[in-house]
Amino acid sequence: QTRVLTGKVVDSAGEPIPGVNVLDRIANTGTTTDLDGNYSISVTSNSVLVFSFIGFKDQEFLVGNQSSINVTLAEDVSDLSEVVVTSFGMEKDKKALGFSVTQVGGERFTESRAINVGNALSGKIAGVNVTPPATGAGGSTRVVIRGGSSLTGNDQPLYVVNGMPIESGNLGSAGMWGGNDAGDGLAAINPDDIESISVLKGNAAAALYGARAANGVILITTKSGKARKGIGVALNSNVTFDNVWDFTDYQRSYGPGRDGVVATTAGEALEIGQTHWGSRYGNQNVIQFDGVSRPYQHTGEGLNDFYRTGTTLNNSVALSGGNETGTYRLAYSRLDNKDIMPNAGFNRDVLNVNINSKLKRLTLDFSAQYTKQLAKNRPRLSDSPGNANFAIMTKPGTLPLDVMKGTTDKLGALEDGNELRFQQNVFQTNPYWAAYQFFREDLTNRILGKVSLRYDITDWLYIMGRAGTDFQARTDHSYTPWGTAFKPRGDYFTNKTNIREDNLDLFIGAQKQFGDFSVDALIGGNRMRRGTEVLSGGGNDLVIPFVHSLRNVAAPQVGYGFNEWGINSVFGYANLGYKNMLFLNLTARQDQFSTLYAAGSSSFDPANTKLFYPSVGTSFVFSDAFTLPQFFTFGKVRASYGETGGGAPSPYLLNLTYGLVGSGHLGGFLGQINNGSIPNANLQPYRSKEYEFGFDLRFFENKVGLDVAYYNRRTSGDILPLGISATSGFGSTLVNIGEMENKGIELLLNVVVLQKRDFKWDISFNYANNRAKVLDLGTNAKGEPIEFINLDESRLRRERIRHIVGQPLGMIAGFKHLTIDGQKVYDDQGLPVPTNGLETIAEGRHPISGGILNNLSYKNWRMSFLIDFRSGGHLVSGTNYFAYVYGLHGETLNGRENGLTVSGVTRNGEARTWNIPANPGNPAEFLIDNYYSNYALITENIVYDASFGKLREFSLGYTFPSTILNKTPFTSASLSFVGRDLFLLWSNVPNIDPESAYTTSGNAQGLEFFASPTTRNFGFNLNLNF
Amino acid sequence: CNEQDLFDLNVDPNAVTEMDPQYLFSLSMLRIAGEYENTRANMLYSATMIQHTSSLAGYFSGDKYFYNAQYSGAYMERHYTDVIRAFAVVIDQTKDNPAEANVNAAATVLNIFDLHRMTDLYGDIPYFQAGRGLESEENWFPQYDNQRDIYNDMVIQLRAARDKFSASARSLGAQDFMYGGNIDKWKRFTNALLMRIAMRMSNVDAAKAREVFIEANNSGTFTSNADNGYIKFTVGPIGVNRNGLNDGYWNTYKYSNDCKISKTFIDWMKANNDPRLMIISGGIGTPADPSTWVTDPAAQRGMPNGYNSTTIRTILTGADLDDFNARGNRMFSMLNLKYLDWEDPYILITYAETELMKAEAAVKGWISTDANTHFSNGVAAAINSWTAFDASFARTADQVNTYIAGRGFAAASNADKLRLIGEEYWAATWLNDIESWSNWRRTGYPALTPTQDPNRFEANEIPRRLRYWESEIGANPQNYEAARSRMGGDNLMTKVWWDGGN
């Protein structure tokens, strides 16, 4: 006898749970709960109802004669059917995966928020190494997973939003000659829109995204609507403040001067500039560059007297809702940032729409994001032209900032409107002139869109098509103002850049259960096209003074750049399961690259453009197979092997081409060779092979969890821009050489330290040790093995970042102090003698990284803090170089009074002691300045261990209790105090932040040269829902 | 998908795969005068070392014998990529094509001109493999060739190129910013370069020098200032259209605010009543403000070499010291802005030089023409050549002849004749300071007194070469090291082969 039974399913907080499966185990009939958690089902008195929902413990009830069963589902701590997002945005049960994937919920990105999502990953995931932006809010972040796959090619991961790849690359960065960080594609993502981020670290995990995923994949899933009654409104307001972190510890005993004496004329003061080899600070007045005598005392002004407090305001509102057939979410956010660099800032508007609809067998998924970003005056870095950081970090101690501002409203200018110079090097720009008179602005309009349509042919077979696009249109305006010392007539440039990436996917998939076996398989294809188009105008030399306009350029030039490339791919995977405890994952893919086509070359082989690679993985949940002790909650072992590859170069590099220059000369035409690198028609994609083992163990009802992975990846035949001698006419050539290895362990330990009533404290510790090693670099034209290749150098031009066979990637090479039998060699005056050639000095990258995250909660309070650390890497410090040369470095106090005694050997190896004299006023007997200048020319003296630990994130939050909220329209509300980069816990680098770098692009890391100072950040976050 | 559709993406729609070699030739020619390396190797180092100019500013490294790696290496850093490689491509593409004989020959001549300059600056340099990376992997890390081998080969290359110029081949025409396609002038230029090369060898291989010089002389060289090897420039619109040296001295970077004419040079001109005094000197005052310029010849005053604004006080007294305290370096004669325009020519070799070289050859007995005539021609040409820069620089024949007569060449001993030739060569190569310095290293004229700065890099001696571009130490270490050890060091005082080195 059947009858209808009804009820309501709620969670432990009393909130209804929609979508709970209600199954009559006896009759094999079922239903699901509606939006309010209600259900009704036909039952008999013999029926056994099973209530199940992901993340909750199943509950069973014998119906008997009950007419209503209300159920409270408890959250499941033992069932680890943890759902993670993997390739193609598909949700998979984590235990079925044979590879490493780490997922972080969106709330981790919105509290102590970093504006750039990449930066927010810092310290959170084992094996993910993040370099923070070299400049503030709009700057780009460098993320490297497991040390990357390529020696010199891109080693940053692919970013995928809702299943479709996006442009995430660096759009320009400072190099040895200066420039600015032009931001990266990640800046367009608003942390409030993120539902979760999954990081796929290994080859097997990434195989389905193809060659571009060879460095791992970061999958971002944006929030979607949830079925509910009415419209849900979520408001978030975040305000944070940035303060410059002043690490300078310069000497403040001796002031500007030369050979121990101070300037006596204005011209001399101008020549002396920042050189602090004068006399001891005292009470006398000394003439300065402008002819005014001022006290010969340190002004006491530091970095914070020039930089301002940066502020960032990020407000967002999201509307969401839906029913059984469809959900939606609509969100808007606005970010206003004022940078620490005066007159610089970043604004961002993001409008995000997400619509899901299910009509019988058809599922439509649509998401779109429109972003508008405006970056103003991105600070110049590295070499000094227009770099305010350089001037302010080396400013003469006695010179008040007010004097550098000048006397007019135009900051940094003389009364005639030209740059006010306080020292004679035209390339070292007045910081106020650099900040206020230089101009640069870029506006980006960007659309990220995806639509996917899935049709379920049967209940186990489906076909799915997807189209996605990422299109950005960017306009850059910049000018060097009229009157700038190094460019008196100024310049004006405008660039319009369009970047697009389109992806089309079509695949057929099947999911079916055969008794104890389950199959989840898919085959499909992808067509990817990318292109960049740049139209630029402008030129040097303005006509009318101080009129900064494209129309005022004396002889404007027009430039046009265009490139396009594509990849065609076919792929498939199959996941086979047995009894939901033993799994096998298989994948295969073939990519074909347009950029490996060498037009017109007789030695070109089309097979070189293709790359086929498979992967296999297995996972065994032994805790389901065997009976384990009570405390052993869960256990899984996994193993995988995967191949991938890539490294296809930029378009057109395989062909030698020519172009015309300017508009000719005196009636003649001017032609050039376009290539800076020697083309090679025989390039092939590189290959990387990786195996990985790991286990995931949980104990004591999940109070302790340990996840460990070991991986070993070898990359061979890498495509390298082999640095060759420029006397060959070219600086590099592309070749397939080299073999490298990345191996390491990653460890994640979660411990619930304390859980008592209202109090909970858990710690999550992650640690990774990646040992990257160059195994082979091929042979040169003579057949001799190549010992090293050069990557990059800083403006000091006395060091190289190098890959050296048998050493870790990215070693720092430079001059060492020449020694004979271990004794340091000095020249006839007692000045240090460098080695004749470059020597290997230290490792540039950190092999070790990790983080310790603490979460504490008590009733409505919660607190979390993240300690982030790196270890083992080094940097070459350009700032410390100049600190020695200019006599600012604290160590230059040694020997100022009575000279310095050094002991060593002469060039002939004879032991000797020298006195480096410091007799003020006699240039022949004041050589202490020469000593420190020569000391700094020995690269090893300015290479530092860059290991550090930082309190990266801190937050203290309060969730308002419902007893208070009941009287308000809000359903939930929380307020938190948040902070980032609050304390440097340990560091060995003087005067600068050990994380300081002027570029986050490229593989040559470990170079430091007057980047923007790093900041401490703190603020408040308010979250309201109704 | 169609494979070819994918491949077609890799064909650049905005570039060409073939280019008229004349266009490549033309750009490389202009780039010989690039701003970066000319301000560094020529202005900051050579001009101050040779005491043409002087500066109190430390970045003018040459007369205080400082070592600045970037200035020292600049010519090498830029010219292999900017100049040599495109010439190499032009030469290779046209070598077997009789119709392109002229561009082939002209490219060869300018290629050798530039490599010659570089070997004179540095000593052993990559020469045979220079700029030939495209050709073969073997050239990716070029060897540094011995300077003697370079000199021998340059002679061979230049003679072959000279004989290749052909009236029946395609003319360079408007693509030639030196001679407008006039192949006779190109042949004369080639011989002038051969004479320069021959003279340079004269102390270490006199027989070869003599043979090369005579052959070139017989073949025919410059006959007037109309033959001068000048690259013509304009006001713009972009950098390559402009005389790069002048871009640095004045029009863009205004470095000449920081340098003045050397006391050595001003005193020499005054002592000899040189009519060039107010050509070379723009007067005393603020360069940017003509109203301040004092152009009275008698008032001109050169800046002594080797001082900074502190140490110079030790040699100034009384009113001079007061003047210095008030005006700083503006108390000394400045460069004349009239020859520092963007559109002024860039000097490679002049008729004045070839005549002075002939005078020397005649004194040495290599040739039988009259040394006195050659000397007079050379000095007159040197003075008159300045009208190519500004019409106001014209000097009357009387002024010129009086000056020449005052030099007393005819009556001088042979040794003194060599001194006079050397001094006049020094005066004639104003702005072409790399050449001036090389000739001084060979002849020792004019006699210059080294400066005494305690911060000097190696010694208080005028350097004998520049140090290599430091990038090569890292990028091409084996070949760098081989050159360094063969030459006996990579120092400013290391002598090159023709200067008596290895």
pLDDT tens track for A654-687: 889 999 998 899 999 999 999 989 988 888 888 8
The fraction of chain A above a pLDDT of 90, given in percent, is 54
Same domain, A89 and A203: yes
Q: What mean pLDDT do residues A121-134 have?
A: 78
Q: pTM of the prediction? A: 0.82
CATH code for the domain in which residue A10 is found: 2.60.40.1120
Question: Would residue A296 count as lying in a domain?
Answer: no
Q: Which residue of A has its CA nearest to B321?
A: A265
CB distance from A44 to chain B under 8 Å?
no
Given A657, A731, A790, which is nearest B17 (Cβ)?
A657
How many angstroms separate the CA atoms of A315 and A15, rounded? 28
Same domain, A58 and A100: no
Chain A residues close to B10, C-beta within 8 Å: 565, 594-599, 651-652, 654-655
User: Are the Cβ atoms of A529 and B471 closer than 8 angstroms?
Assistant: no
Q: How high is the mean pLDDT of chain B?
A: 95
How many angstroms separate the CA atoms of A920 and A917, rounded? 9
Same domain, A93 and A207: yes
B149, B232, B404 from B266: Cα distances, Å: 39, 28, 18
CB distance from B317 to chain A under 8 Å?
no
Question: Would residue A65 count as lying in a domain?
Answer: yes
Same domain, A206 and A87: yes
Question: Is the confidence at residue A391, as pLDDT, over 80?
Answer: yes
What is the per-residue pLDDT for A990?
95
* Residues whose CB falls within 8 Å of the CB of residue A611, separated by 6 or more in sequence, listed in order: A211, A590, A591, A592, A593, A645, A646, A684, A685, A687
Question: Is the confidence at residue A218, as pLDDT, over 60?
Answer: yes
Instruction: Please report, as a single letter, which amino acid is at residue A19.
Output: G
Q: Which residue of A has its CA nearest to B178?
A: A666
Given A665, A782, A797, which is nearest B241 (Cβ)?
A665
End of a domain among A165, A188, A222? A222
What is the nearest CA distance from B198 to chain A, expressed in angstroms?
26
Same domain, A111 and A202: yes
Structural domains in chain A (count): 2
Question: Would residue A134 count as lying in a domain?
Answer: yes
SS3 B434: helix
Identify which of A162-171, A191-200, A352-361 has the greatest average pLDDT: A352-361
Question: Is the confidence at residue A853, as pLDDT, over 70?
Answer: yes
Question: Would residue A42 count as lying in a domain?
Answer: yes
Which residues are registered as beta bridge partners of A51?
A: A22, A59
What is the per-residue pLDDT for B424?
98
Q: How high is the mean pLDDT of chain A?
A: 88
Label residue A125 by pLDDT band (50, 70, 90). Answer: confident
The fraction of chain B above a pLDDT of 70, given in percent, is 100
The fraction of chain B above a pLDDT of 90, given in percent, is 88
Q: What mean pLDDT do residues B76-97 have?
A: 97
Summarised one tens digit per residue, pLDDT across range A284-294 is: 999 999 999 99
In what helix (H) or strand (E) does residue A464 lie, and over which residues does it extend? strand A461-480
User: Are the Cβ atoms of B134 and A729 closer than 8 angstroms?
Assistant: yes
CB distance from A727 to chain B under 8 Å?
yes
Q: CA dihedral defined by B405, B407, B412, B417, rounded to 10 degrees?
A: -120
Q: What mean pLDDT do residues A957-981 have?
A: 88
Same domain, A119 and A212: yes
- Best of B310, B312, B314, B484 to mutate (most A CBs within 10 Å, chain A): B310
Question: Is the confidence at residue A1017, as pLDDT, over 70?
Answer: yes
Question: Would residue A118 count as lying in a domain?
Answer: yes
What is the per-residue pLDDT for A781?
65
What is the per-residue pLDDT for A109?
66
CB distance from A566 to chain B under 8 Å?
yes
End of a domain among A222, A238, A267? A222
Give the helix, strand, coil percentages of chain A, each rounded to 5: 10, 50, 40
Question: Is the confidence at residue B21, as pLDDT, over 90?
Answer: yes
End of a domain among A196, A222, A248? A222
Same domain, A67 and A183: no
What is the per-residue pLDDT for A79?
42
Question: Would residue A157 count as lying in a domain?
Answer: yes
Same domain, A26 and A111: no
Chain A residues close to B331, C-beta within 8 Å: none
Same domain, A35 and A134: no
Given A488, A654, A725, which is nearest B475 (Cβ)?
A725
User: Are the Cβ atoms of A665 and B23 closer than 8 angstroms?
Assistant: no
Question: Is the confidence at residue A642, as pLDDT, over 60?
Answer: yes
How many angstroms separate the CA atoms of A828 and B460, rounded? 13
CB distance from A494 to chain B under 8 Å?
no
Instruction: Please report, as a single letter, which amino acid is at residue B227.
Output: D
Summarised one tens digit per residue, pLDDT across range B438-472 is: 999 999 999 999 999 877 888 899 999 999 998 89
The fraction of chain A above a pLDDT of 70, given in percent, is 96
Of A112, A82, A49, A127, give the one whose Cα is nearest residue A709. Answer: A127
Question: Would residue A91 count as lying in a domain?
Answer: yes
Least confident stretch, A71-75, A709-713, B31-35: A71-75
Q: CA dihedral defined by B374, B375, B381, B384, rounded to 10 degrees?
A: -150
A573, B22, B146, B158, B415 from B205: Cα distances, Å: 77, 36, 15, 19, 20
Summarised one tens digit per residue, pLDDT across range A563-620 is: 999 999 999 989 899 988 899 999 999 999 999 998 877 778 888 899 999 999 999 9
Summarised one tens digit per residue, pLDDT across range B186-215 is: 999 999 999 999 999 999 999 999 999 999
Given A673, A725, A927, which is nearest B86 (Cβ)?
A673
Same domain, A200 and A101: yes
Same domain, A39 and A105: no
How many angstroms separate the CA atoms of A105 and A86, rounded? 14
Instruction: Tell me whether the omega of the peptide bond preceding residue B446 falls within 30 degrees of 0, making it cis.
Output: yes
Q: Which residue of B has its CA nearest to A732?
A: B140
What is the per-residue pLDDT for A80?
42
What is the per-residue pLDDT for A84?
65
Touching A: B residues 228-267, CB under 8 Å: 232, 234, 236-241, 252-254, 258
Q: Which domain holds residue A33?
A: 3-72
How many angstroms separate the CA atoms of B177 and A660, rounded? 17
Summarised one tens digit per residue, pLDDT across range B428-439 is: 999 999 999 999
Touching B: A residues 250-309, CB under 8 Å: 258-259, 261, 264-268, 271
Same domain, A91 and A50: no
Summarised one tens digit per residue, pLDDT across range A305-337 is: 999 999 999 999 999 988 878 899 999 999 999
Summarised one tens digit per residue, pLDDT across range A858-875 is: 988 989 999 999 999 999
Of A297, A145, A289, give the one whose Cα is nearest residue A213. Answer: A145
Least confident stretch, A403-407, B256-260, B323-327: B323-327
Beta carbons of B96 and B119 less than 8 angstroms apart:
no
**ipTM score of complex:** 0.95
Question: Would residue A201 count as lying in a domain?
Answer: yes
DSSP code of residue B360: H
CATH code for the domain in which residue A114 is found: 2.170.130.10
